[in-house]
């Protein structure tokens, strides 16, 4: 059985990801449930760092100018960290990875898309950053790259907001 896909319909074009439900069931199901329930519709990328990643999924980013962007999570609260020995998937270019505060079990709705290889963020690498990968862009990496090059302010927030209008899930 194939993994689910999710197509991000953004104000800068569309991209599609494979969601690794087979390898990361808790993190992937959390994302899929939020997407299918419309949680992400209308939110904006609230943090974009050229040559690093795009961050998304804060409910406060519905207003892209909100000072609370980047601080919110899902209505059901955080999920357990998913560090599985048989799912050592690296934070490579084009992968989706769970964002967190650095504290255990602090992931929820926010995630990031790696625009370069970021192995230092792997949960199984030495260091304090521990971010499990739960998907990979399969189509539209050019759109991800365009979003990654959008001009930002001093807080890494896009000057011209980039909205995700809808995420369509196919299971």
Q: Would you write out the chain's pLDDT as a tens digit for each of its 171 residues?
A: 799 999 999 999 999 999 999 999 999 999 999 999 999 999 999 999 999 999 999 999 999 999 999 999 999 999 999 999 888 999 999 999 999 998 999 999 999 999 999 999 999 998 888 999 999 999 999 999 999 999 999 999 999 999 999 999 999
Q: Which domains does the chain have, with CATH numbers?
A: 5-170 (2.40.100.10)
Compute the distance between CA of residue 122 and CA of residue 139 in angstroms, rounded to an integer. 23
Please tell me whether residue 117 adopts helix, strand or coil conformation.
Answer: coil
pTM reported for the whole predicted model: 0.96
Question: Residue 111: beta bridge partners?
Answer: 56, 98
CA 17 to CA 141: how far, in whole Å?
A: 10
Q: Are 117 and 93 in contact (CB under 8 A)?
A: yes
**Which of 112, 116, 117 is CA-nearest to residue 100?**
112
pLDDT at 128: 84
């Amino acid at each position: 059985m194939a993994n689910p896909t999710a197509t991000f319909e953004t104000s800068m074009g569309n991209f599609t990801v494979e969601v690794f439900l087979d390898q990361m069931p808790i993190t992937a199901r959390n994302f899929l449930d939020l997407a299918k329930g419309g949680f992400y519709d209308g939110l904006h990328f609230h943090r974009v760092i050229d040559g690093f990643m795009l961050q998304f999924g804060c409910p406060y980013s519905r207003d892209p100018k909100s000072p609370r962007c980047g601080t919110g999570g899902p209505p059901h609260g955080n999920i357990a960290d998913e560090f599985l020995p048989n799912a050592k998937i690296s934070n490579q270019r084009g992968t989706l990875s769970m964002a967190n505060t650095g504290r255990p079990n602090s992931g929820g709705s926010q995630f990031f898309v790696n625009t370069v290889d970021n192995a230092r963020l792997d949960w199984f690498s030495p260091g304090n950053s521990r971010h499990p990968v739960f998907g990979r862009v399969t189509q539209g990496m050019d759109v991800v790259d365009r979003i990654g090059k959008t001009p930002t302010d001093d807080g890494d927030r896009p000057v011209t907001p980039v909205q995700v209008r809808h995420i369509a899930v196919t299971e």
